Every structure is written in structure tokens, then in C-alpha cells.
Chains A and B, each alone.
Chain A
Amino acid sequence: MANTELKSHEPTGPIEERWREHKAHQKLTAPHNRRKYKVIIVGSGLAGGAAAASMGEMGYDVHCFCFQDSPRRAHSIAAQGGINAAKNYPNDGDSVYRLFYDTVKGGDFRSRESNVYRLAELSVNIIDQAVAQGVPFAREYGGLLANRSFGGAQVSRTFYARGQTGQQLLLGAYSALSRQIEAGTVKMYPRHSMQDLIVHDGKARGIVTRNLLNGKVEAHVADVVLLCTGGYGNVFYLSTNAMGSNCTAIWQAHKRGAYMANPCYTQIHPTCIPRSGEYQSKLTLMSESLRNDGRVWVPRNKEDVTKDPGKIPEADRYYYLEEKYGSFGNLVPRDVASRNAKYVCDQGLGVGQEVDGERRAVYLDFKTAIERLGKDTIKERYGNLFEMYERITGDDPYETPMRIYPATHYTMGGLWVDYNLQSTIEGLFVGGEANFSDHGANRLGASALMQGLADGYFVLPFTIGDYLSPYQKTGVDLAKLELDDKPVTDAVKEVEARLEKLANAPDPKHSPDYFHRKLGNIIWQYCGMARTAEGLKTALQEIPKLREQFHREVKVTGTADGFNQTLVKAARVADFLELGELMCLDALHREESCGGHFREEHQTEDGEAKRDDENFQYAAAWEWQGVPSSAALHKEHLEFEYVKPTQRSYK
């Protein structure tokens, strides 16, 4: 059944009417009937937490799962910069349409217009909701909300709470969720990790979890399942994601029939603190705003890479972004800045600590800005970031340039969903970073928080309600499914056997991290900032070999029936080893460059991403066929009625 055209179920008509019309015609469930429906939500970040709180409040019987010790720890908490909303409070000409336009263009014309418009439209409600919850956004002296421009946007539409916007929005959702837990409408299952999806009679009907405290594998049956489990950026091993962020929930759902869309669309953030050694466990992001005043450079001569940067004369410094991109300079978009850092390091001009025989860092220098604006102004603007940098590296950025390097930050790809955020499995919905829906091939700054909350508060509670509504009538009931029914007990047994196998590999030699690091190296090298057919083919040969070695040699101590962090890690790595392969397959098939996906064979004379709209203006959705390499490709053709595709240029 390869190459079937996927149906997005998006409404037609004027784009500004679509969501309103769609919502107006959705089927309702009466309040007294709602509690009869059991809703499973996996993940408690912005999307999952908001959906759980909202659906609990509506009266559904909500069961929410997270692997952390509390829903407040979800990785949404780490977002720094802000959240976009088309409020136009600063009166600078912003509108829903403009935010929609910017997001479609920013996604390099690989997203679905109807979804993006809805996102822009709902952005304003998010701010109202968050403020009412007590989210302490930054304010002006007059008491009104403050806005700033972010990521090169021409309007100030970003709301922020110091450098901790994600934290404050998540705590807002967490407080709403806590209120529902207290009210008894939501049951929370912390320290539970989803290991499988139960599909019965063609519909998603439950999940299998492992209780991380006692190792117990259990089934949970429900009427509908919602996954809000975040992105898969940790496939790179090193990323700005939290250590626990993983792809298991979406990957197991994929193996049960949910299509995986555009896995090769990953975003690399240009300003992260570089690796300092082989022991490095994660990379820390430094806000993009630093590029407003910092100048990026490397030494012109290879002999200078180990020199004290302060002693390198102006003439010997290569301000490569300023030289190559006259009008945007240091403020070129994330992907362009990242790729150029890679190029200069590939040429041997990288600076800083040598790791694995290479120096991979460039300078971000505030000397000129300090001379121009004074140390106090710089301190006011970036004081907390400079402090964080010094804590991690031991260097004082007021005195010596920062060293930065790109790192994986966000994954635009994810489970394919239609306009209702329903996957290709009936009754399986997907929200937030876990789905592929709104950012196309590249996500703009301050729009991840926006999407998570729009999905969670304002889209999913309605579309899931619409899905459940018919089942309240007799005769169209969901097939009866109990915990001791065979499909459920079989799923539990399968998970137990899978974990048992991981805990007892035939020839245990290396830690799960050993394999994860190796996988990360392959993906970073061949499916990172710049990709080639040749490199991807190499990766597609290496990954299956590594996976085979992993299942033979992974070493897990302790037992499967207790608190065992090594086993948890091994299970996650096993899934990354499969997803990584699909990611490379997707990158190889997409014979064009777009957004975060840069194929070296497809670039303009200026070295910019060159799309091929004639052949690749579609979302690639992959269907599992037993092994990653035999995945079947399905396409959703993308129409652009409102924003006509153009070529980006930053010269």
C-alpha cells in the first residue's frame, strides 16, 4: 500500500474562517457523559499538561503519565527566550496573518497552511490564559505586558518571563493540572515510562508502561490515547534536550502503525556551549539574543587557533558571517549561522578545547559591543547568560570571547497527524513537539511554546471530544477491552520479553551510553548540519551494524524488576537506534535542501538551501514495515494558497 496520498482533513474556505467553522461543527459530548470516557495522556509538558488540565476540567476521566518524578520537570521547562503571540500590543503592525505568514515562510514552505494559521490565531488566547493563571510575564512600568523582537522578527511579538519563559508557562500548566488532580478528574502517574501502544480493532486503546520505581510492567486501557512526549533530538546523543528526553513513545506508536513524518527535519541551534571532553553528557544552549551584540569570528590562520584570542590582531580575524552576509551579518537565521560555523571548523579554523582530535568552536566576541555600549549595558542585557557561561566554562566573557558551537535543539519531524492532530491510527492523537504539524522544515524562535500550548489547551480537547462523541450512542460503542483480554496481556508480555532481553544480552560488554555516543557520532556526522547522499548511505550501513552489536553486547546490571536507570537507558537507546536509521533514510530520499535539512548537492550558487518544489512539496510520512530500512513512503501534498513559495536570501 505504498505511495497512497494522505488526507489532512483540513477544512476549506477562507483560511481565517477554517478553525472557527471546523470547531462549530464538531460533535459535542454532554457533561454527564464525559466522565465515562477514559483519556490517556502521555507526557506532562506544555502540550500534555495543558491538555490533561483542560480535559480533566471538562469532565473526562484523564490519566496522565510522565517519566519524571513530577509533571513539573517536563523539558518544556528549559525554554528560555519567549512565546510569540499576534497581540499587536506594541502597535507595530503585527497581526494573526503576519505571524502565520512568517511561520510558513520560516518553515521553508514545508508546513500545512491551515494548521499554521490556526496556531497564529490561537496564540493570542494563550497569553490571556497564561496571565489569568498567574504567569508573571515581563511588564512595563505602566503595568502592561512587555514585548520584544526575537530571532530577527520585524515586529515585537514575543512575551517573556526573564530568561525562563518555558519554566513559567510550564508551571502555569502544572498548577492547572495540580488543581485537576486535587479535584480528582486527573490521575497522575509520575515515574512511568510508556513502552508500547495497545491497538485493538484498529483503534488506539491503551498503553503499556513500566513503573520506574519497581519495574512493574502494566497495561492501561482507555478510549483514546494522546501522546505529548516531545522531540527525538537525543538521537544525536549530545543535544540541548534533557537527559531523559526520548523517542520511545512515538517510536513504539510508529511500530504499531502510526506514520512518522519528516524525521530528517531537525533544528540545530547555533549558539551552544561547545564540548569540553569525551565525557560530555549534554550541551547547553545560550540564548540566540547574544548574536544581537556579539560578533562571530575565527582566526584566519590555522596557526592561531590555539593562541589567546585577545592577542590575535584584527586583520587576522575572520568575521565570516559579516563578510559573507552583508545585510544580515551575525543575525542570519539559525541554520545559516550553524552551517557556517561547521564550514570554518571543517577548514581547521575551529578554536578551543581539542576533543576527539578536533577543535569545534568559534568565537562570539563582545569586545566591540562593550566598547560601544559600555560594560553595564552589556551586563544588563546578558548578565545572567554571561554568568551561566562562566559557571560552565570558567571563562569570563567580559574579558575573553565566548566559544560557541551549534547543537541539536528541536525536531520538527514527528508522528504524522491530520488537522485534528490525529495520527494514522484511529484514536491516537499527538501534540506538541511529538507531532510534525506546524513548523515545516524549520522552526522560528519563540514558537515551540506557542505550539505546545495551542495544541494542549485549545485544539486537542475539542478534536478528541469530537472523536469520542459518537461512542456515547448505543451500537457504536468502542469494542469492549479489559485488562485481562488477550490483546492487552499479550502486549504486556511482549514488553516484558523485550526488556528481559535487553537486561540479558548474550555477550554483555558496553554500557548503553557507549552505543548511544556511537550512534550520536554517526547521526551528527552524516545527518547533521550538512548532508550528502554518500554520507547518508554510509550512515545507513553503519547504523544497522551498530544496532546489531548493541543487542549482542549491551551491558545492564541490576534486575528488570526494580529501580534501574541503566535498563531505562538501554530501552531508550534501542529505539533511537531504529529511529536514527529512518531519519537518514528520509534525509537521503529528500533530494532537495529546505530549512534544517541541507543537502550539499542541492544549494544555490550562494550556498543557500535550494528547494525543489516541483518534486518535494510534500510531507513524507513513513510506514513501519518490520525494519527501518523497508519503511514505506506515503505523501501528503502541501498546497500554498496564501503564502507563495519564494527563495530565502540573507545576503
Chain B
Amino acid sequence: MKTKNLTLNVWRQRSKSDSGRFEKYVAKDVNEHMSFLEMLDVVNEELLEKGEEPIAFDHDCREGICGMCGLVINGYAHGPQERTTACQLHMRKVFELGWDELWIEPWRATSFPVIKDLAVDRSAFDRIMQAGGYISIRTGSPPDANEMPIGKHVADMAMDAAECIGCGACVAACPNASASLFTSAKVSHLGLLPQGQAEREDRVRKMVGQMDAEGFGSCTNHGECEKACPKGISIDWIARMNREFLKAMVTADNEVEERD
């Protein structure tokens, strides 16, 4: 079993209004089988023993599905391993790359303000969802589930888009801090399905409108989002969303609601 000492430069920021700075720590005897977050846990326990405040970072399920964790590690959102969240990144990957010094930062985007250290506020994503990321169906009034057959191919495509975990890595990786990958994944998931047709045009207009209102940048096809996405959400969905949006704007029968 390999162990190593690593130098960590961790972004420390007391609050939203604090300007923040990197601080240096040494992670001793890091074991290759540790997850990245477990390495931080050990550093945090030592900080606590010394009477210092541990590094704040968000995390929950630690199995790559809840979307709560998110760190930029040496410039990579969620670290260097493709299709892997920070919580599922293991130190052996860091060792393989020969990285002895790490720079650990929060998601950086105006629309994701830092709460403390590495934890950011991603409530903008919730508001984009609230703007239209749903099919309006009352509880208790649906038809039988098999009443409407949906081709396997379409169902599979919808599932591909629906796999998004809402972590925000796409925004962190994008030079424009665009939320297009996130928004387009939901627009596509629901727009592909027959159940989602009635609200299809409204949905894309409202969700894109909210995305802009939150101050996210525009997509200029860098493709960094797709690369950083731990679930492999394809940039094709953005093209699809743009088509849907254009179509909805041209053919709409009703005005777009103004949103605050």
C-alpha cells in the first residue's frame, strides 16, 4: 500500500464578503485507497485537534449521486478523473499523476457565491428548476403507466439527459460560467417524452429566461462542461435546447412571462 505526504493549497474564505486566500497544509501519510474527501477529513481532524477551524466543504452521499460535493482540484472541476465526482476520486489517481502539490478551490462563478471556504450557494439551480423543470401533473390523477408506449430509444435518450446530478461542475468548468449543460439536460429530458409535450415551449423559454436572470454566462461551445461532467451529460443537449428555444420564441402563441 502506497502512502505519501502531499502539500495542499486550500482556498479559505470566512464568508461571502471575505476576500479569501490560499492556505498551505501538509497532508501526512496519505494512503492510496483513501477517497479525496477522506484525505480532507483527516486534514480536518488534525486542524481540529490543533484548535483551528476545519476546512468547510459540502458533501453528503459520497457515492457520486447526490451532487452535493464539488471542488476544483488543480484546475479540474471534481478533479482529474473523467466521469467521477470529487467524492469518488481516490488518491491512487492523484498518485498516478505524480501530483505532490494540490490546489483546491471552490466552484468559481458569480452565480454560485462562496458561503465559506469550499462551499458555495447553488440555489440558482433550484430556481431554474422552479421556472419550468417539471411536467404539471396532479398527484393521484395519472393514466395507467403503460397507456402511452414510449420507444426504447427515446426513453433511453431521456434517461441519458435525466442522469444530471445538479452538482454545478459544468458551470465551474465553463470559461463563461454558463449553466447551459444543466438547463439543457432538464429541457431535453422532459421535452423528449410524450408526457412533456404540452409545456415544451413554455418550459424552455422559462428555464432559459431564469438561467439568464441568475447571471450565468452564455454558451460559446468550449465543451469544458461535458468534459467535467461526472455523469457524462452530452453537449448535444445544449444544441437541442438552443433549437427548442429558437423554435419556441418564433412560434409561441403567448408572451414570455417577465420573471424577477
A and B associate in one complex:
yes
Q: Which residues of B contact A176 (CB under 8 A)?
A: 134, 137, 139
Q: Taking the nearest CB of chain B, how far is it from the CB of A557, in angstroms? A: 5
Q: Is B250 an interface residue (CB 8 A)?
A: no
Q: Is the CB of A557 within 8 A of B140?
A: no
Q: Is the CB of B60 within 8 A of A73?
A: yes
Task: Pick the most buried of A131, A162, A244: most chain B CB atoms within 10 A of its CB.
Answer: A131
**Which one, B37, B49, B116, contacts A511 given CB within 8 A?**
B49
Q: Which residues of A contact B48 (CB under 8 A)?
A: 511, 555, 557, 566
Q: Is A400 an interface residue (CB 8 A)?
A: no
Q: Is the CB of B66 within 8 A of A78?
A: yes
Q: Mark B169-201, 1 if CB is under 8 A from A, else 0.
A: 000000000000000000001100101100000
A565 CA to B146 CA in the complex, in Å?
46
Q: Mark B32-73, 1 if CB is under 8 A from A, else 0.
A: 111101110110010111011110101111111111100000
Q: Which residues of A contact B189 (CB under 8 A)?
A: 134, 136
A167 CA to B58 CA in the complex, in Å?
19
User: Given known contacts A133-B135, A242-B61, is B159 in contact with A128 (CB within 8 Å)?
Assistant: no
Q: Is A168 an interface residue (CB 8 A)?
A: yes
Within 8 A of B (CB), among A159-187: 161-162, 164, 167-168, 171, 174-176, 178-179, 181-182
Q: How many A-B residue pairs have CB under 8 A?
A: 223
Q: Is B97 an interface residue (CB 8 A)?
A: no
Residue of A nearest to B129 (CB): A178
A240 CA to B130 CA in the complex, in Å?
30
A388 CA to B89 CA in the complex, in Å?
11
Q: Is the CB of A73 within 8 A of B68?
A: yes
Residue of A nearest to B135 (CB): A134
Q: Taking the nearest CB of chain B, how far is it from the CB of A493, in angstroms? A: 26
Residue of A nearest to B150 (CB): A143
Q: Is A203 an interface residue (CB 8 A)?
A: no
Q: Is B136 an interface residue (CB 8 A)?
A: yes
User: Given known contacts A57-B138, A69-B68, is B193 in contact with A134 (CB within 8 Å)?
Assistant: yes
A53 CA to B138 CA in the complex, in Å?
9
Q: Taking the nearest CB of chain B, how far is it from the CB of A71, in angstroms? A: 8
Q: Is the CB of B61 within 8 A of A133?
A: no
Which of A274-282, A540-548, A579-587 forms contacts with chain B? A274-282
Q: Which residues of B contact A181 (CB under 8 A)?
A: 126, 130
Q: Mark A283-308, 1 if CB is under 8 A from B, else 0.
A: 01100000000000000000000000
Q: Is A195 an interface residue (CB 8 A)?
A: no
Residue of A nearest to B88 (CB): A391
Q: Which residues of A contact B51 (CB under 8 A)?
A: 555, 557
Q: Is the CB of B63 within 8 A of A284?
A: yes
Task: Pick the most buried of B39, B68, B88, B143: most chain A CB atoms within 10 A of its CB.
Answer: B68
Q: Is B125 an interface residue (CB 8 A)?
A: yes
Q: Which residues of A contact B240 (CB under 8 A)?
A: none
Q: Is the CB of B146 within 8 A of A145?
A: yes
Q: Is the CB of A75 within 8 A of B155?
A: no
A242 CA to B61 CA in the complex, in Å?
4
Q: Is A139 an interface residue (CB 8 A)?
A: yes
Q: Is A458 an interface residue (CB 8 A)?
A: yes
Q: Which residues of B contact A359 (CB under 8 A)?
A: none
Q: Is the CB of B155 within 8 A of A139?
A: yes
Question: How large, as a class, is the contact surface on chain A?
Answer: 35 or more
Q: Taking the nearest CB of chain A, how far is it from the CB of B257, in angstroms? A: 11
**Which one, A70, A127, A138, contacts B166 given CB within 8 A?**
A70
Q: Which residues of A contact B58 (CB under 8 A)?
A: 69
Within 8 A of B (CB), among A72-89: 72-73, 75, 77-78, 87, 89
A143 CA to B151 CA in the complex, in Å?
4
Q: Which residues of A contact B63 (CB under 8 A)?
A: 78, 240, 282, 284-285
Q: Is B86 an interface residue (CB 8 A)?
A: no
Q: Which residues of B contact A125 (CB under 8 A)?
A: 140
Q: Is B31 an interface residue (CB 8 A)?
A: yes
Q: Which residues of A contact B53 (CB under 8 A)?
A: 557-558, 566
User: Given known contacts A128-B143, A136-B193, is B149 in contact with A143 (CB within 8 Å)?
Assistant: yes
Q: Which residues of A contact B47 (CB under 8 A)?
A: 557
Q: Is the CB of A178 within 8 A of B142?
A: no
Q: Is B100 an interface residue (CB 8 A)?
A: no
Within 8 A of B (CB), among A433-488: 457-458, 461
A188 CA to B62 CA in the complex, in Å?
24
User: Given known contacts A143-B151, A178-B130, A558-B53, is B142 in contact with A128 (CB within 8 Å)?
Assistant: yes
Q: Is B204 an interface residue (CB 8 A)?
A: no
User: Given known contacts A133-B135, A162-B159, is B65 in contact with A77 (CB within 8 Å)?
Assistant: yes
Q: Is the CB of A244 within 8 A of B60?
A: yes
Q: Is the CB of B142 within 8 A of A77?
A: no
Q: Is B233 an interface residue (CB 8 A)?
A: no
Q: Is A393 an interface residue (CB 8 A)?
A: yes
Q: Which residues of B contact A240 (CB under 8 A)?
A: 63
Q: Is B7 an interface residue (CB 8 A)?
A: no
**Which one, A140, A168, A393, contacts B162 given CB within 8 A?**
A168
Q: Which residues of B contact A213 (CB under 8 A)?
A: 115
Q: Is the CB of A68 within 8 A of B33?
A: no
Q: Is B104 an interface residue (CB 8 A)?
A: no
Q: Which residues of A contact B253 (CB under 8 A)?
A: none
A161 CA to B158 CA in the complex, in Å?
11
Residue of B nearest to A55 (CB): B139
Q: Is the CB of B65 within 8 A of A277?
A: no
Q: Is the CB of A171 within 8 A of B140?
A: no
Residue of A nearest to B161 (CB): A136
Within 8 A of A (CB), among B197-218: none
Q: Is A243 an interface residue (CB 8 A)?
A: yes
* B residues with CB within 8 A of A: 1, 15, 31-35, 37-39, 41-42, 45, 47-49, 51-54, 56, 58-68, 81, 84, 88, 90, 92, 115-116, 119, 121-123, 125-126, 129-131, 133-140, 142-146, 149-152, 155-156, 158-159, 162-163, 165-166, 189-190, 193, 195-196
